[in-house]
Each structure stands twice: as structure tokens, then as C-alpha cells.
């Protein structure tokens, strides 16, 4: 079973700025993945739009479901995978854990198979 330690989280603001400036994008079922494939490290971030979900409780629920879906499926990327990814929940409806899990399966497989 995989964990999601703090070392895997994006904590550097310059990494986020670089990601949004030069990163590529994948989208599936209301979840957007901004990513850069690089050979240095593996970092992940999650967010839910305050514009779409005013309640902090709802945003935290969505981010918790996304983190858990990633934690359960990160083995799809493989142990030697490196890159920076940022998952953005961009749907007004709050999806169930199963729906988010299915979307993450699709996004992670497409990210792994992307060239750059």
C-alpha cells in the first residue's frame, strides 16, 4: 500500500508558477491535470475552486477524495516515474469517491503514456 507523505507534495511556489506557465494539460470528467514530465523529482498538488465551491468543508472533502484516489492508484505510474502534477477539481457537482477514483485512473494512465 502506498502513502502520500509531505515529500510528494508541491511546496515550492516557483514549481507551481513554472507548472502553470509551461505545463501541459489533461482533462477528464471535471478534473484537470496540469503536468510537467521532468527527470528530477516527483511532486503532486491538489485544489478545488473557491469560485465553484464556496464552503471550505466542501473544498476539503473534494481534495481529501482526490488525495485518497491518488494514494490508492499511484502504483499505476510506477516507482521510477518523475514529474510534477497538479490536479484541479473543476466541476460544480461534488462527485463520489468512486467517480473521482475512475477519473484518476484515466488521468494517471494518460499522464504515464504522455511523451513530454
Residue 15: the pLDDT is 85
Stated pTM of the model: 0.91
Query: 74: closest CA among 85, 64, 61?
Result: 85
Confidence of residue 61 (pLDDT cuts 50, 70, 90): very high
* Residue 115 scores a pLDDT above 70: no
pLDDT higher than threshold 60 for residue 95: yes
Pairwise CA distance, residues 67 & 72, whole Å: 9
- The whole-angstrom distance between residue 38's C-alpha and the CA centroid of its chain comes to 16
Q: Which residue has 508541491 as its cell numbers? A: 10
Say whether domain 23-113 belongs to CATH 3.30.230.10: yes
Domain residue extents for the chain: 23-113
What cell numbers appear for 36 in the block? Answer: 510537467
Place of cell 484515466: 106
Each residue's pLDDT tens digit, 13-59: 888 898 899 999 999 999 999 999 887 888 999 999 999 999 999 99
State residue 73 phi and psi, 5-degree precision: -115, 5
Question: Which grid coordinates belong to 80?
Answer: 521510477
Amino acid at each position: 500500500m502506498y502513502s502520500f507523505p509531505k515529500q510528494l507534495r508541491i511546496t515550492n511556489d516557483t514549481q507551481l508558477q513554472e507548472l502553470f506557465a509551461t505545463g501541459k494539460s489533461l482533462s477528464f470528467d471535471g478534473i484537470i491535470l496540469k503536468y510537467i514530465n521532468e527527470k528530477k523529482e516527483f511532486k503532486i498538488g491538489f485544489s478545488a475552486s473557491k469560485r465553484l465551491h464556496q464552503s471550505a468543508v466542501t473544498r476539503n472533502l473534494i481534495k481529501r477524495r482526490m488525495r485518497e484516489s491518488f494514494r490508492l492508484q499511484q502504483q499505476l505510474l510506477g516507482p521510477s516515474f518523475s514529474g510534477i502534477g497538479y490536479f484541479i477539481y473543476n466541476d460544480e457537482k461534488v462527485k463520489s469517491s468512486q467517480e473521482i477514483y475512475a477519473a484518476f485512473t484515466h488521468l494517471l494512465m494518460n499522464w504515464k503514456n504522455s511523451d513530454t
